[in-house]
Amino acid sequence: MKKRDVLIIPYQKESNLVFSSDNSGGIGLKELDHVNVQYEIVSYYGFRVAMMELLGVGAQPMALIIHSFNGDEAWGSLVKGANQLIADLDLDGLEVTGSSESNFSLLQSASSFTVAGTVSHQNLRIGKTSERAKFAVVGEPLVGEEVMSKENKVLPLRLFQELLDQEEVYEIIPVGSKGILYELNLLTDQQIAFTSDLPLTKSAGPATCVVISYSSKAHDTLIQICGPHFHPLGV
């Protein structure tokens, strides 16, 4: 069952396997890359996207998988980035594995990142949005060099984790390359004319923001928790 950007497979009586992934192309240390950054950063942000997708549907991660087309010399840095994300999320005990293409060299960097996890049917956080829900964006859509130059506008992982713990937040969807409006349409399952101070169709790169649906009772609390990262959506 494909839901949002995760694959959910029934497993045993009360549980599901969940897989999420993210890809990176032209970002790394090769001469023809569009964005030149260390592979540790590429891995960190790639797994950030996949991990946020998986955690956002209520799943618990079990393992991280790297597919690298950057040569053997990049492998250690990619693993380091994965382990840094694990540490930042306080997710001890997760295994990192994968494979590196070492037979042929590409002109540009290419990487793929997958997270595998599980979630019970009861805890699956999809289709929970109330008809009376309010909507907001937390963080801002940033892509490419903006992710580094405007890092203060990126949704912090700690804040993302705090949003996951809010009972009055129904659903959380990381925003990807298709933009805020695309994710909102998935969340509401209909075309709604939302208004915002943010560009609704701009790519959010490595999930620099999320869309949330929430109870009106939580509005003031969310403003306090999120501070300047909170952007309410009008309808």
Spans of the chain below 50 pLDDT = 2
Q: What is the pLDDT of residue 3?
A: 60
What the chain holds in terms of domains, given with CATH numbers, is 2-120 (3.30.1330.10), 134-232 (3.90.650.10)
> How far from 220 is each of 18, 137, 210, CA to CA, in Å?
33, 15, 18
Q: What is the pLDDT of residue 146?
A: 93
Q: Tell me, what DSSP letter sits at residue 201?
A: T
Per residue in 83-96, pLDDT tens? 999 999 999 889 99
- Report whether 88 contacts 24 (CB < 8 A): no
Q: Tell me, what DSSP letter sits at residue 133?
A: -
Q: What is the pLDDT of residue 190?
A: 72
> What tokens were used for 104?
């042929």
Q: What is the pLDDT of residue 193?
A: 83
Q: Report how far residue 226's alpha carbon sits from residue 207's, in angstroms, rounded to the nearest whole number.
A: 16
Q: Report how far residue 183's alpha carbon sits from residue 136's, in angstroms, rounded to the nearest whole number.
A: 12
The single residue listed with the structure tokens 């390359």 is: 177
Count H helices and E strands in the chain, helices first. 6, 12
- Report whether 68 contacts 101 (CB < 8 A): yes
Q: What angle do CA 168, 174, 175 make, to 5 degrees?
A: 125
